[in-house]
Amino acid sequence: MSAALEEFCGSIFWNASYLTRPDADLPVCFQQTVLVWVPLGFFWILAPWQLLPMCKSRAKKSSVTKLYIIKQVLATLLMLTAVAELALAFVEDTEQDPLPAVQYTNPSLYIATWLLVLLIHDARRFCLCRDSGILFCFWTLSLLCGILPFQSLLRRALQVGFGRKLYASLWSCPNPEVTASFLSSITFEWYTSMVFKGYRKPLEIEDIWELKGKDKTQAIYAVWEKNMKTAVRKAQAELEKRKRKKRRQKADPDRGNNMSKAQSQDVLVLGTREEKKGDKGDSGPRKDFPRGWLVKTLCKTFWQNLLLSVAFKLVHDGLVFVSPQLLKLLIAFVSDEESFAWQGYLYAILLFLTALIQSLCLQQYFSLCFQLGIKVRASLIAAIYKKALTMSSATRKESTVGETVNLMSADAQRFMDMANFIHQLWSSPLQIILSIVFLWGELGPSVLAGIAVMVLLIPINGFLVAKAKTIQVRNMKNKDERMKIMSEILNGIKILKLFAWEPSFEKRVNEIRAHELKDLVNFSYLQSISIFVFTCAPFLVSLASFAVYVLVDENNILDAQKAFTAISLFNVLRFPMAMLPLVLSSLVQTNVSTARLERYLGGEDLDSSAIHHNPIAGSAVRFSEATFAWEQDSNAAIRDVTLDIAPGSLVAVVGAVGSGKSSLVSAMLGEMENIKGHINIQGSLAYVPQQAWIQNATLKDNILFGSELDEARYQQVIKACALLPDLELLPAGDQTEIGEKGINLSGGQKQRVSLARAVYSNADIYVLDDPLSAVDAHVGKYLFKHVLGPKGLLQKKTRILVTHSISFLPQVDNIVVLVAGAVSEHGSYSTLLANRGAFAQFLNLYGSQEEDASEKNTTGTGNTTGLRQLEGKRSTNSWKKAQEEPPKKLKGQQLIEKEAVETGKVKFSMYLRYLHAVGLWYSFWVAMGYVGQYAAFVGTNLWLSAWTDDAERYLNQTYPVEQRDLRIGVFGALGVSQALFLLFATLLCAHGAMRASRVMHQQLLSNILRVPMSFFDTTPTGRIVNRFAKDIFTIDETIPMSFRSWLSCFMAIISTLLMISLATPFFALIIIPLSIFYYFVLRFYVSTSRQLRRLDSVTRSPIYSHFGETVSGLSVIRAYGHQQRFLKQNESTMDINQKSVHSWIVSNRWLAIRLEFVGSLVVFFSGLLAVISKGTLEGGIVGLSVSSALNVTQTLNWLVRMSSELETNIVAVERVHEYTKVKNEAPWVTEKRPPRGWPSKGEIQFVDYKVRYRPELELVLQGITCNIASTEKVGVVGRTGAGKSSLTNCLFRLLEAAGGSILIDEVDIATIGLHDLRQNLTIIPQDPVLFTGTLRMNLDPFDQYTDEEVWKALELAHLKTYVQDLPEGLLHLVSEGGENLSVGQRQLVCLARAVLRKAKILILDEATAAVDLETDNLIQTTIRSEFADCTVLTIAHRLHTIMDSNRVMVLQAGRIVEYDSPEELLKKQGVFSVMAKDAGIVNTETTTL
């Protein structure tokens, strides 16, 4: 081979002697062949692919840029030089002897190559990124291979230039990553501009570059969904198999013996459950679900990413083992007097290069992994969201909103974290095996001793992981439980305040929290032990190996080469060995999450097959023997309904509470499980639910609900729905932002907005679930006339109206009477009256007179909760004006403040605050523990260095035994003390961290329960929940780890630099510029990174709150068929968050590349200095210095990562602290206690009382003065927004006075504690709020009353029979938000609460809103009999409820306009008599109730 080459070049191809001289060089022939052909070969193999874009004729060429022209000119010049070279060869050939062939072939090859380069440059114009990675690599290779001939030529003093170019594409694009050149991509140079921007000013979300198209949620999710569908189908088939097998096993009990224990227990459990539930055994709490499809789907979706990262990781892992070998050569070089200087410099340069390439590969690998992480998270969140839109109601019952949000936040996050380290699963074992192979080469069989130690550590670790898993699972349960209660507390905070129940709930949360912290501290102890084991590991391994090596054989002497090569290999081992258990435990957690996600995503979808859409002439909706239930195996809620509803007709559905009216509606919407029969619906639906669902958007957006704006129709709808007067009251007309759950609208307004949304949607069929219940009588009349009735806007549409009101029935086309879920009769009003059936009796009972019945109908809630911003009466024209000039923000227009993003540096006080919470002594001793550990670490290494120098000292003598034993003994002692110091520090740390968690959660919780109502009105619950979920989780688990890692990194770097400086004192000079560079990079980066993390957490909240909103409005979204729009909105919300996370990831890589460069320089200089001061150094100290340096790169990197992570995590302390500083309401109990038994009389006096909702808004009550005598019954009436509910809020001091005072029994309520006040008043609130827990807990959370008293209260509230029929009686579990009781029953539970409390003053806030007349009658009777000796204030819209009051107070715009007995007021022809006329009341006798 070499002979042929020699003939080809005409000179010697290879001769080793060329290198064994001080001026070493490579033979010319080698330079002309190998060094030329390697880059060309690489290029010709890969280049043709680069021409592909030219073949795609459709692609558009981008314009010619200056850069392109320069590139082409340079390439042409290179080609010309090659042509010139060839010509020269021919010229020379003719003059003398024939030249060797190589002189012709090389130039010809080059000509062809440069031609191809020209073509590739042109081809790249078809691509967005005009730079080619292959060309870049070719240039780099040519450069590297060209350097050697170049220096040869230089030596011969012939100056010959080499063509070379580096470029970066300059044309702009929204995301520079798309067009970044190859070099810029691998060094992340394109990101630098962002880092500078972030350093100059805090980044905003607008500054961050958009995602690339393929990284957008929609693109990722499309692929994922396709793969998911196939995988789930397979998994469901498996599930069917499993079920069949189970059934067979159940049928054949004898086979049970050979099952595993767990299985047989399963069968037992199933068996008992099946007896309970009849046939449907597996619908118990642990229902089986399709398994094992999630991971497959992920792999299938992201296989390209996985493969690429595997490639990078392999290169990196290979190079990791090159450094120890180079170190070995370097030590040999230092110890060997004869060696040439160029060898040393070569080794130093090679060390630098390996470190550099290693870091480039590692960063690409990490970048890919983190990209994978966020893509996995995006697809999971999108999948969960989509599932929520399509899941069946049975599946929905299995998981509460809180749990689902947890799936999104915690479980998707788990997957994201796991994706970052997934490759460690194969890479760690690979690195471990390679290290062992190389170690064997160094120390021979003694390595086995070290490996034995490692193997022994594995079961210990396995045990720890298993323990940790059980704790983790338990803790997830506690967390779910705590978050569930928290979200309930926040949703029902008003009730808690009115009833003064905060302490009871605080106790409940704290009990759960105590369990959680106990588990947490155990988990930390386990972690400390496993950290201890792992710190001991590398050290024990090296101790065992060295000791055995020295003890086995007299001749084995530990010299520097062996010891430090071994040590650096052990250091390599350290990382995979530490990572493996972490990855395994993370895998364990991900496994738990996988099961949770598979159960949720694999759940059954809504089956709407029973809803047909066939065209049937003359029928809009047809029920055919329809029987529907809420769950497959529960009792049917509607039975055998056969109905035909003609197009364009108005059908009323009536019936008592619980007769299945709402179920009938749900069945039409496809929300229920079909048992038999079907429903045929022709045309589009619009739906108005019983409890209006309002989005957090402007009023206008709520009405348009995604449709195009048609101004004329919009105005018409607003007018018909009686919204014009409300728009005048709202601060910014229809541009006013509505809070979460419509908090700043009254009940009646919410209902009218909900109705307007339906009317605007212009559907064919309108399903109206009792829309008139929440509005005043006269408004109800108006709505019926203008919208629903025979002359209304909807006269041509089919309307199905569920109603409790009797007055409208004569005007409807058809009436359907429901009894216990079945249609008892239907027909027109007159027919039903003539039939003398149930309906006729019902009417006779409640409709003794037609006219007054017209009033009894519309039960209603005027203004309810939250902040009435309905002050500031403005005339219509001023509203029109407001519409014309929207940009000017009016005060009160924006209700929800944007979440504050702290900017700038995290204040140092936050760290101190955390350390204070931990305890200062704890913090001090933890730090001391770490100092001790690293002192021992330096000691160990210096001792080892001295030990290896013994090899020189006792070169040809026998090694003294006592010296050997001393060396091993001290080495061992130092190592053990190192581990013990660490154990001491971590155990203390665990304890301190738990203390901090307890203190901070306690402060947060107790403060949140003590802040005034106005805070909850202006802060979305999602934001507060986020504090309790994400931020508390960070304080519990992340911050302690970050603190520990930071300390240990910091100490490690200090100790490393110390050791290098001890070896080569000159190194201290190099430290200074390096540390300056390091510091600047760090400062630049941290400000950007911190802000990106903050943006991440701020852009994350909207994902969850949008999700929560969607889940609560599911039936509405589905009824209107707007699922796609909501999916789109979710995707865009996700993309905003993804964008900030993606940017954050890149910023990390940007930093790491630059820092590892610093690390590589440290390695280079420590090597270089060792080479320079060769004669003066021992091998041992060089080994120590370079092996420490090799370790430093990673640690430097970790230090910055930890600093920034600590800083970003400490933001959690900042955020929690922010909410512990919110101003509290007045104290619960003050020095001044009211007398015992207060209020004994129940007299209330208002003295010039004024109040406003928030300081910047106008007064709601403008100076009210009146007296209410003991046991007097007073009715309070007034139009919406007159300040009726504000009056109750003032009595309970949910609003503090802006002037004046209220006296109850001569005690000024402003002077006593809130609880003393609130416990002695009773209210039946407007919205019946119930909490998860037993029925008894809902009535009496403090267990103050006996069971007899509770039963008595239930009897008076007409719930006794219902509760007695429940299997659990008083212990019946109420589901989230009381969903398993009807609205009417919930209202009765609230009545029972009031009866049980039996205070002297009772306030009724329109409690009869959602109740049919029968129940209403019961409530009124109870109140009359039970509260006869109490003062009763009734806030009413249905005048008949207050006609028998002693006096009536009429409010208008926050002032009392009339206050007298009803008889007097009717005579007086004032405001009241007008209202009474509207309601059809002429005198006080005309009301039956």
What's the angle, vertex CA 1382, arms to CA 1377 and CA 1387, rounded to 5? 80
Of 1201 and 1320, which is predicted with more confidence? 1320
Name the band, by pLDDT with cuts 50, 70 and 90, for residue 514: very high
Closest among 521, 526, 524, 565 to 546, alpha carbons compared: 565
* Burial (CB count <10 Å: 0-12, 13-18, 19+), residue 723: buried
Predicted local distance difference test score (pLDDT) of residue 268:
35
Q: 489: which 2 tokens? A: 């507390």
Cβ within 8 Å of residue 80, ≥6 positions away: none
- Strand 1307-1308, strand 621-629: pairing: unpaired
Name the band, by pLDDT with cuts 50, 70 and 90, for residue 860: very low
Q: How far is CA 1392 from CA 381, 435, 1272, 1370, 1376, in A?
A: 42, 74, 22, 13, 19
Say if residue 878's pLDDT is above 50: no
Q: Using a pLDDT cut of 70, give the percent of the chain over it.
A: 90
Predicted local distance difference test score (pLDDT) of residue 722:
87
pLDDT in tens, 1244-1254: 888 888 888 87
Name the band, by pLDDT with cuts 50, 70 and 90, for residue 1485: low
Q: How far is CA 381 from CA 220, 226, 377, 1135, in A?
A: 12, 16, 6, 11
Say if residue 861's pLDDT is above 60: no
Predicted local distance difference test score (pLDDT) of residue 901:
58
Report CA dihedral (525, 530, 535, 538) to the nearest 10 degrees: 170
Q: Any long-range contacts for 789-796 (C-beta under 8 Å, 24+ apart)?
A: 789/650, 790/650, 792/720, 793/716, 793/717, 793/720, 793/759, 794/759, 794/766, 795/648, 796/648
* DSSP structural state of residue 172: -
Say if residue 227's pLDDT is above 90: yes
Where do we find the tokens 């908090």? 743
* Burial (CB count <10 Å: 0-12, 13-18, 19+), residue 476: middle
Predicted local distance difference test score (pLDDT) of residue 904:
56
Say if residue 862's pLDDT is above 70: no
* DSSP structural state of residue 408: I
Say if residue 865's pLDDT is above 70: no
Say if residue 253's pLDDT is above 70: no
Predicted local distance difference test score (pLDDT) of residue 1409:
53
pLDDT in tens, 16-32: 777 777 777 778 888 88
Report the SS3 class of residue 1458: strand
For residue 1439, the Cα-to-chain-centroid distance in whole angstroms is 49
Of 288 and 502, which is predicted with more confidence? 502
pLDDT in tens, 671-727: 888 888 899 998 889 999 988 888 888 888 889 998 888 889 999 999 888 888 888
Cβ within 8 Å of residue 1358, ≥6 positions away: 1388, 1415, 1418, 1422
Axis crossing angle, helix 560-601 with helix 424-443, rounded to the nearest 10: 160
- Predicted structure pTM score: 0.68
Contact 1267, 1256 (CB under 8 A): no
* Average pLDDT score over the chain: 81
Q: Using a pLDDT cut of 90, give the percent of the chain over it.
A: 8
Q: How far is CA 1375 from CA 205, 392, 495, 1465, in A?
A: 39, 17, 17, 46
pLDDT in tens, 49-73: 887 777 776 667 778 888 888 888 8
Q: How far is CA 1214 from CA 357, 913, 1035, 1038, 1220, in A?
A: 40, 9, 11, 15, 10
Give me the phi and psi of 383, to 5 degrees please.
-65, -45
Of 567 and 1315, which is predicted with more confidence? 1315
Say if residue 350's pLDDT is above 50: yes
Find the mean pLDDT for residues 554-576. Answer: 77
Contact 1393, 1404 (CB under 8 A): no
Find the mean pLDDT for residues 939-950. Answer: 82
Q: 12: which 2 tokens? A: 């010697």
Predicted local distance difference test score (pLDDT) of residue 168:
29
Closest among 30, 37, 39, 34 to 152, alpha carbons compared: 30
Predicted local distance difference test score (pLDDT) of residue 275:
35
Say if residue 585's pLDDT is above 50: yes
Q: How far is CA 1440 from CA 244, 376, 777, 1411, 1473, in A?
A: 62, 60, 10, 15, 13
Closest among 958, 1030, 830 to 413, alpha carbons compared: 1030
Predicted local distance difference test score (pLDDT) of residue 222:
92
Residue 1323, strand partner residues: 1403
pLDDT in tens, 1119-1163: 898 899 999 999 999 999 999 999 988 988 888 888 888 888 888
Predicted local distance difference test score (pLDDT) of residue 263:
41
Name the band, by pLDDT with cuts 50, 70 and 90, for residue 1412: low
Of 529-538, 879-888, 1425-1434, which has the strongest mean pLDDT?
1425-1434
Say if residue 154's pLDDT is above 90: no
pLDDT in tens, 636-662: 888 888 989 999 899 999 887 778 888
Distance in angstroms (rounded) separating the CA atoms of residues 843 and 823: 17
Say if residue 1422's pLDDT is above 60: yes
Closest among 1083, 1384, 1096, 1062 to 413, alpha carbons compared: 1096
Distance in angstroms (rounded) separating the CA atoms of residues 882 and 733: 7
Say if residue 172's pLDDT is above 50: no
Find the mean pLDDT for residues 1035-1060. Answer: 86
Q: 343: which 2 tokens? A: 């060898």
Q: How many CA atoms lie within 13 A of 693 on its CB side?
A: 19
Say if residue 1226's pLDDT is above 50: yes
Find the mean pLDDT for residues 936-943. Answer: 87
pLDDT in tens, 591-612: 888 988 888 888 888 888 888 8
Predicted local distance difference test score (pLDDT) of residue 881:
34
Of 1284 and 974, which is predicted with more confidence? 974
